[in-house]
Amino acid sequence: MARIEVKSEITGTVWQLKAQPGDKVESGDVLIVIESMKMEIPVITEDGGTVKEILVKEKDPVSEGQVVAIIEE
């Protein structure tokens, strides 16, 4: 099983968690919403699979390129 790291494209704070460990997700699904510069920026998975871990919680600061979730294919 391939372990896929999902990263935030932008620096900001975690606004909403849209997925939880165990959720089945498809390519293009929103896992987390980051708030940055008053915008809601989705963290989208490019791969389908099962959410293994969500590595952040709401209001956490995140930086660009930070791994925020792990998906297992």
Q: Which residues bind another protein (CB under 8 A)?
A: 9-10, 36-42, 44
Give yes or no for a contact between 56 and 14, defined as CB atoms under 8 angstroms apart.
yes
Residue 51, beta-bridge partner list: 71
- The token pair at 3 is 């372990």
Please report how close the Cβ of residue 22 comes to another protein at its closest, in angstroms: 26
Residue closer to another protein by CB (options 15, 52) is 15
Please report how close the Cβ of residue 33 comes to another protein at its closest, in angstroms: 9
Residue closer to another protein by CB (options 39, 58) is 39
Please report how close the Cβ of residue 42 comes to another protein at its closest, in angstroms: 6
Which residue type, as a one-letter code, is found at position 61? P
- CA 34 to CA 37: how far, in whole Å? 10
Which residue type, as a one-letter code, is found at position 29? D
